Structure 1
Amino acid sequence: MKKNRLGSSELFVSEIGLGCMSLGTDESNAIALIHEALDRGVNFLDTADLYDAGTNEEIVGKALEGRRDQVILATKVGNRRILGQDGWSWDPSKAYILSAAKDSLRRLGTDYIDLYQLHGGTIEDPIDDTIEAFEQLKKEGVIREYGISSIRPNVIREYVSRSSISSVMNQYSIVDRRGEEAVFPLLQEHRISVIARGPLASGVLAANREPAKGVLDYELDELHDLRRKLQELETSERCLTQLAIRYSLAHPAVAVAIPGASSREQLLQNLAAADIPELSTAEVELIRSFSKANQYTVHR
């Protein structure tokens, strides 16, 4: 599978990775899916301490026993569980990040994290404090690179100007093109890669699945109309799923797309996008003519 450099780092990631959030808590099924992905050329796995209250990291760690050196492993931090309270609270403080990194290492069964990402963020955060934590972890060899997972342009701009992030994980698909206008040109200028999450928009753009409700700027009937137009671009070599993934990969700012999968069928359908030709400029423009050039209206 084709590999791309992540930002200006020494990390080279498969153009299609595996978003592990969708794997579920059935350990044997999840591990089998991870192993299949690795066997088929995937080397980028993305998890988070938030997913299934840490269980996802534990499963990923077990799947990587004996194969850690084959993987660029990414996880996230910032959502804190407080004993005796329901849910999570947001904590981007230096002290918490340093502590949470140790917990993630333990659950993942490794002594380093390739890409450590802030799992959210607001403009009111102690950003310099957060950056100090990541820089310290990098200096200590606990992490190799760091990035943020955010869809807020105002937050992204602060990290671009004040830190040495290698990547920004951003929601990006045919139905969510907000990054094209507000974020991607800035990241390209600074040699920071986009990790495209949600290229299938929670299944809305997956083959053999009909959406049951609208998303973002699309009502349900608009989604059905968009799918009909996109299906006209299907060929014997590519279905809607692969078309959608290749669209996310077509933007030069994107280094890797991370569709999720909860079954082998979904995984194989996603990974087949690596085996088809890249979209031509004309095809990309045609898809853009079918869809909406959405823009951020808040946190700009």
Structure 2
Amino acid sequence: MNKRQLGKSDLYLSEISLGCMNLGTEESKAKDIIDRALDAGINYLDTADLYDFGENEKVVGKAIKHRREDIILGTKVGNHFDKEKEDWHWDPSKEHIKNGVKDSLQRLQTDYIDLYQLHGGTIDDNIGETLEAFEDLKQDGLIREYGISSIRPNVIREYVERSSMVSVMMQYNMLDRRPEEEILDLLHNNNISVLARGPLAKGMLSNKGAKVAEAKAKDGFLDYSYEEMLALTEKLEDYGNEARTLNALALQYVLHHPAVATAVFGASSLEQVEDNLSFLEAAPLTEQIYGEIQALTSPITYQKHR
């Protein structure tokens, strides 16, 4: 598995990585999924304190306890949640971040987090206070690096100018090409890496894409209508062949831009892991196919999320 440097850090992430949000709470099943990913060469696992109100971190922590040294572990903070009420509110304060890291470390059964990420953010936040918290945690050795998880261009620009973050996690795929317009080059020029989440667009860019789109895109997807989604996913399925599966193509597409360090796919079953591991056997993505994909899809831009 090829690895890419995360920003200016000494962390090198596998080109594809496992997002843990959909692992579920059945520990043995989750461990099987994680072990298969790690055995295939994946070294980055991504979770968040909010997922299942802390339970996801616990599941991940138990699954990786025996091989922590093999893993680059990422989690997120910023949502002050009440597990009993299953409710939460946004809280990027220094106090919450410093309390949050202690709770995450305990749930993950580790004494450090490789990549600690702010799980959201708005332009109205006290960004200076948030950055002080992350810098303090890095100084204390509780985290190795920090980043943000955001799709808001104006927020991302603030952090680019004011922080020493190494990464931005954002949704990016063949259907959601918004980052291409104003984010990817900005981050690449500042040596900040992208963790591309949702590379398969909820499964609509998987080997079963057309069928998934039929079920999940009743109200359309972003600027695409339902009819456009059905037609587009059918056309994209034609690219799934012996040279590469559609899963592999979806992962290759986001990794084409040099800003992207890793494509973070989710999995709730071993079958889904295997589908995405087809990436390892895929023929290289040619500029011709990349251009054809861009011609088929729409280069939409950020409107509401600024």
Normalised TM-score (structure 1) = 0.97
- Find the aligned partners of 2:86 and 2:236 in 1 and give their Cα distance: 42
- Find the aligned partners of 1:235 and 1:51 in 2 and give their Cα distance: 35
Q: What do residues 251-290 of structure 1 show as CA deviations (whole Å, max 9, x unaligned)?
A: 1110100110111111011122133233112211110000
**Aligned to 1:66, what secondary structure does the other structure show?**
helix
Partner of 1:172: 172
Partner of 1:137: 137
Contact 1:82 1:89 (8 Å CA) reproduced: no
- Find the aligned partners of 1:69 and 1:163 in 2 and give their Cα distance: 28
Contact 1:78 1:92 (8 Å CA) reproduced: yes
1:227 CA displacement: 1.5
Partner of 1:30: 30
Partner of 1:204: 204
Q: What do residues 115-161 of structure 1 show as CA deviations (whole Å, max 9, x unaligned)?
A: 00000000000100000000000000000000000000000000000
Q: What do residues 53-111 of structure 1 show as CA deviations (whole Å, max 9, x unaligned)?
A: 11110111111112000000000000011477551100000011001000000000000
- Find the aligned partners of 1:222 and 1:240 in 2 and give their Cα distance: 18
Aligned residues: 300
Contact 2:53 2:86 (8 Å CA) reproduced: no
- Find the aligned partners of 2:250 and 2:2 in 1 and give their Cα distance: 18
- Find the aligned partners of 1:15 and 1:230 in 2 and give their Cα distance: 22
Matches within 5 A, 1:113-262: 113-209=113-209, 210=211, 211=213, 212=215, 213=217, 214-262=220-268
Matched, 1:269 2:294: no
**Aligned to 1:168, what secondary structure does the other structure show?**
strand
Matched, 1:2 2:2: yes
Q: Which runs of 4+ in 1 moved over 6 A?
A: none
- Find the aligned partners of 1:160 and 1:101 in 2 and give their Cα distance: 23
**Aligned to 1:217, what secondary structure does the other structure show?**
coil
**Aligned to 1:230, what secondary structure does the other structure show?**
helix
Partner of 1:62: 62
Matched, 1:109 2:113: no
Contact 1:3 1:15 (8 Å CA) reproduced: yes
Q: What do residues 202-252 of structure 1 show as CA deviations (whole Å, max 9, x unaligned)?
A: 111111241122211111211121122222222213221111111111111
- Find the aligned partners of 1:299 and 1:260 in 2 and give their Cα distance: 23
**Aligned to 2:201, what secondary structure does the other structure show?**
coil
* Between 84-93 and 118-127, the greater mean CA deviation after superposition: 84-93
- Find the aligned partners of 2:225 and 2:74 in 1 and give their Cα distance: 34
- Find the aligned partners of 1:275 and 1:12 in 2 and give their Cα distance: 21
**Aligned to 1:99, what secondary structure does the other structure show?**
helix
- Find the aligned partners of 2:53 and 2:86 in 1 and give their Cα distance: 12
Contact 2:53 2:83 (8 Å CA) reproduced: no
- Find the aligned partners of 1:92 and 1:45 in 2 and give their Cα distance: 23
**Aligned to 2:21, what secondary structure does the other structure show?**
helix
Partner of 2:99: 99
Contact 1:16 1:274 (8 Å CA) reproduced: no
- Find the aligned partners of 1:282 and 1:206 in 2 and give their Cα distance: 21
Matched, 1:289 2:279: no
- Find the aligned partners of 2:18 and 2:105 in 1 and give their Cα distance: 19
Partner of 1:52: 52
Partner of 1:39: 39
- Find the aligned partners of 2:26 and 2:10 in 1 and give their Cα distance: 34
- Find the aligned partners of 2:25 and 2:305 in 1 and give their Cα distance: 34
Contact 1:15 1:274 (8 Å CA) reproduced: no
Identical aligned pairs, as a percentage? 55
